[in-house]
Amino acid sequence: MKTEYIMNLSKKIAVTAAVGFFTSFSFAQSVQDGINFVDSQKYAKAKQNFTDLINQDPKDANNYFYLGNTFLTQFDPNFDSAQESFNKGLAADPKSYLNKLGLASVKLGKGDKSAVAEIQQIVKDSREKDAEVLFRAGEALTLFEKNSSPDLAITFLNKAIEKAEKKGVPANYYYSLGDAYRIKKDPGNAMTAYDKAEAVAKNKASVYTRKGTLWIAAQQWQQAKTNIDKAIAVDPTYAPAYKALAGFNIKYQKNAEATQNLINYTKYADEDPYTQLEIAKLYFTNEDYANAKKTLDAVFDKVDDVIKYRLRAYIQYGDGDYVGAQQNIETFLSKAEKSRIQPSDDGLQGLIAAGLAKDEKDAAKKAQLEALSQQKIAVAKAAKDETLKWDEELAKVKGGINSASVDQGPTSPAIEALKKKIVENPSDTDSLYKLATEYQNVQNWDGAILTWSKMSSALPDWAPAYYSQGYAYQQAKNNDMAKASYEKFISLVKPAEIEASKPSLGYAYFFVAFMEKDTNPEKAKQDVAKSLEYDPTYQDAINLQNTLNK
């Protein structure tokens, strides 16, 4: 599984700021429309909405703030566009507290902690008379989790709520209060704030989605699923609910279901390039590399965020294009601010180096790349980074297993037809099973390994997929990975399945014992005994047991 080092899965699923419904008559309905578009993650429509308002009344400074804030609250903030809009707002009204807060938010988002004191001063200058200024100050302090100030945010948000009580507290005031408590890791008060939002929100889907992601963070899966299902039930077109459901299924390793969730999310969100970039990240996290590449390619030239180079590097790595992957990760590292560089970037560089070393003819360069690979992967492992399973990925690279190696291997008309069916319906586990079997029939072991891997991702508790993957690894002469797959198979066989699985269990235990006979003979004795327990007549196991007992 990939984690927040590729894409911050929890941040925008859990915290979509600048949402709700204003009750003050000073806000036109069209402003509410724009804010609702942001809540629904229709950022392109929100930007168009606020741009139209600016064109209608260029002297209204508030509209520049809402446009700029949309650029801040999208998945990957566009600080330059946000700052430009806030500056235009101040040109229209040099006293605009909202646009001053916007500029301070840009500084905070870039990691300048002095912006916290600046926000405090803006609130002080406003004399705390305007609930919206208090709210936006609190919101600003929750927008960027790494540069947040949740305690101060809670203070400002509670003051905003108190100030707004006479006319009715907007739901987004409570949402942001809940978000601040989440950052503070206070789920109880976060849920209380969301409960209050539910009481006043016109769109309950927003509340249920937030509650669902809060339960995901707490690893309370049933409560999470219940709330997300409620969100979709009350508003089947509410895009963030499908994104949250995709997050749930990715964490639960239900990759096929997650892909369908992302298809629905794409359907109900809009085609804002930054939203599409986020979708590409999610497809990659879900190990759906074909859709990740297709989505990224469609918007690559339309987005400025350097994260696109990191994502392309991962996709190219998955395709076995190590030269292209190296170029893109180096581009990312040269352009990204230091705060965005993660231990996973070292890990990826290590895997790429291993891939380059595999085909390097010069002995000195090969040794240098192999040493670099070990060094870089060690950085990721020391940081306990779980973006990728580093040892498993390294084994795949050394074995030459990737999408390119699959395509270079044997194929058949049946394989090509099944590949098309799976592209059309990634959740078709019957076709995945048939494709893996067809790869085995033509002895395309790389294809079989990767397809059985997809099968185990779609059905993580289905033991036979791991047995078949172990067999494919064994045929590909990658015994270490074969051993790991057989061990996974053994761990997943349920008591009710033991009788039917005895021959497979007998062989799996024998193979594990054979691999351990030199390094851990006592463990090998235990495993070969289990092998003979399931298949007493298996001659190879009998011979191994005799050897071990000498």
Check whether residue 520 and residue 505 sit in a common domain: yes
DSSP 494-506: -GGGHHHHHHHHH
Own/partner contacts of 101-108, CB < 8 Å, gap of 24 or more, are 101/65, 101/133, 101/136, 101/137, 101/140, 102/65, 102/68, 102/69, 102/72, 104/140, 105/69, 105/72, 105/140, 105/143, 106/72, 106/79, 106/82, 108/140, 108/141, 108/143, 108/144, 108/147
> pLDDT band at residue 14, thresholds of 50, 70 and 90?
very low
Its domain, for residue 363, covers 322-398
Q: What percent of the chain has pLDDT over 70?
A: 94
pLDDT of 6 strictly over 60: no
pTM tops 0.75, yes or no? no
Which residue, of 78, 109, 125, is where some domain finishes? 78
DSSP 203-220: -HHHHHHHHHHHHHHTT-
Residue 168: inside a domain: no
pLDDT of 223 strictly over 60: yes
Chain position carrying tokens 């007493």 = 536
Stretch 523-539: mean pLDDT: 94
Check whether residue 520 and residue 410 sit in a common domain: yes
Mean pLDDT rounded to a whole number for the chain = 88
Check whether residue 8 and residue 51 sit in a common domain: yes
Check whether residue 411 and residue 507 sit in a common domain: yes
Which residue, of 32, 61, 78, is where some domain finishes? 78
Closest C-alpha to 287, from 260, 312, 250: 250
Check whether residue 428 and residue 383 sit in a common domain: no
Flag the least confident range among 119-128, 207-216, 228-237, 283-292: 283-292
Q: Report the distance separating Cα 208 and Cα 339, nearest Å.
A: 32
pLDDT of 21 strictly over 70: no
> pLDDT band at residue 461, thresholds of 50, 70 and 90?
confident
Domain containing residue 486: CATH number: 1.25.40.10
* pLDDT value for 2: 46
Residue 23: inside a domain: yes
CA distances from 421 to 25, 81, 459 (A): 54, 42, 18
Say which amino acid occupies 152. L
User: Over the stretch 388-406, which tens digit does the pLDDT of each residue have?
Assistant: 878 778 877 877 777 778 8
Check whether residue 379 and residue 455 sit in a common domain: no
pLDDT of 427 strictly over 80: no
* pLDDT value for 401: 79
Check whether residue 390 and residue 467 sit in a common domain: no
Closest C-alpha to 199, from 224, 178, 214: 178
* pLDDT value for 253: 62
Check whether residue 434 and residue 531 sit in a common domain: yes
Three-state SS for 21? coil
> pLDDT band at residue 9, thresholds of 50, 70 and 90?
very low
Residue 244: inside a domain: no
* pLDDT value for 135: 97
> pLDDT band at residue 279, thresholds of 50, 70 and 90?
confident
Q: What's CA 397's distance to the chain center, in Å?
A: 23
Q: Report the distance separating Cα 254 and Cα 249, nearest Å.
A: 5
Closest C-alpha to 149, from 99, 125, 114: 114
CB 378 within 8 A of CB 411: no
CA distances from 28 to 25, 60, 86 (A): 7, 12, 20
Check whether residue 335 and residue 472 sit in a common domain: no
Check whether residue 342 and residue 391 sit in a common domain: yes
Q: Report the distance separating Cα 86 and Cα 153, nearest Å.
A: 21
CB 535 within 8 A of CB 527: no
pLDDT of 304 strictly over 60: yes
Residue 256: inside a domain: no
* pLDDT value for 78: 87
Residue 212: inside a domain: no
Residue 302: inside a domain: no
Check whether residue 472 and residue 528 sit in a common domain: yes
* pLDDT value for 512: 95
* pLDDT value for 23: 34
The number of folded domains in the chain is: 3
Check whether residue 381 and residue 421 sit in a common domain: no
> Is the four-CA dihedral 460, 280, 264, 415 of positive or negative sign?
negative
* Secondary structure of 78-135 in HEC code, one letter for each residue: CHHHHHHHHHHHHHHCCCCHHHHHHHHHHHHHCCCCHHHHHHHHHHHHCCCCCHHHHH
* pLDDT value for 275: 83
Q: What percent of the chain has pLDDT over 90?
A: 61
Which residue, of 398, 426, 460, is where some domain finishes? 398
Residue 224: inside a domain: no
* pLDDT value for 1: 41
Residue 196: inside a domain: no
Say which amino acid occupies 206. S
Closest C-alpha to 388, from 284, 295, 513: 284
